[in-house]
Amino acid sequence: MGEAKRRKQDAFTKAQLEQLEQVVERVYKRTRAGIEAARAAATDDERGGHLAAIHGATASVVGALTEDFFATDPTGPDVQKQIACAKGCSHCCHANVEVTIVEAIAVARRVAEDSVLAESVRATAPKVDGIPPWTRYDFRIPCPLLRDGACSIYDVRPRVCRAHVSYSVALCEEVLISGKSRSLAPIVTFGWPRTVSKAIGHGTIGALDHERLQSCTVEMTAAVAHILRTPESVPRWLRGEAVFAPYGFGSAAGAAERHSM
């Protein structure tokens, strides 16, 4: 597909822009309600449940609005035919996964139920913690939640994982796992799900800011490992403490370990 045609497809209609505004508003309200419920909860487990439910209720919007685009946009059928993503392809699971803290809490809750997954996250975290996003590809480190070429937490996977919709398997492979990312142009992906994902992120972060909670994005594997190691970090975060390393910076422990690799 030519670049000009792709740009045209990424120019959204007035109705789609209104949909995005509604997403921001709905996610903002849902996140604030979830935070309120978590604060009122009697136990840490209940608190975690309310926070994870925010992600459950909001991330699914990426898939729902993508389906809506295919069904209602005049370019939808043509775009759908160009989508290269298919079951069994996992090149995109070799990139940094930038998530909100709410998403990290939801993923950590699922990972904590499976000791093998938890160990996999713990082992991978020092390797990815603090790697600048644009060099992660060069390390060719698979996501620790990837099992037999598929996502093992598919129903709670982060927004960005849902939003990576590629037009070219070959380009994904070249950029994401060839180890030559610095010399290549970025992957061109379908803009609508990416934009919906960003709208969800804006709504979530706006609500966290309003609630005076640490609202930076974080690297998923590092943040999940942090929560597994120190589960009390979740109630501390909910009390307003800044307990997570912002995305792209990472912890000193991660950097030290990586440099000795």
Contact 69, 115 (CB under 8 A): no
Among 51, 97, 108, 131, binds ligand SF4 (CB under 6 A): 97
Query: Under the criterion CB under 6 A, does residue 125 sit at the interface with ligand SF4?
Result: no
Question: Cβ 97 to ligand SF4, closest distance in Å?
Answer: 5
**Residue in this structure with the two tokens 């045609």, named with its chain if needed:** 5
The residue (of 9 and 124) whose beta carbon lies closer to ligand SF4 is 124
**Residue in this structure with the two tokens 């690297």, named with its chain if needed:** 219
Size of the site for ligand SF4 (CB under 6 A): 10
Contact 97, 163 (CB under 8 A): no
**150-151 and 218-219 strand pairing:** unpaired
The residue (of 147 and 202) whose beta carbon lies closer to ligand SF4 is 147
Question: Cβ 137 to ligand SF4, closest distance in Å?
Answer: 13
The residue (of 19 and 58) whose beta carbon lies closer to ligand SF4 is 58
Query: What is the residue type of 99?
Result: V
Structure tokens at 79: 């775009």
Please list every residue from 187 through 226 that binds ligand SF4, using CB under 6 A.
none
Query: What is the residue type of 169?
Result: V
Question: Cβ 108 to ligand SF4, closest distance in Å?
Answer: 12
How many CA atoms, within 13 angstroms, populate the side-chain half-sphere of residue 52?
A: 18
Question: Cβ 69 to ligand SF4, closest distance in Å?
Answer: 21
Among 35, 54, 62, 93, binds ligand SF4 (CB under 6 A): 93
DSSP state of 11: S
Q: Which residues contact 211 (CB under 8 A, 6 or more apart)?
A: 32, 35
The residue (of 35 and 97) whose beta carbon lies closer to ligand SF4 is 97
Structure tokens at 157: 């996977």
Please list every residue from 126 through 185 that binds ligand SF4, using CB under 6 A.
143, 145-146, 151, 153, 157-158, 161
Structure tokens at 72: 């209602």
**Chain contacts with ligand SF4 (rule: CB under 6 A):** 93, 97, 143, 145-146, 151, 153, 157-158, 161
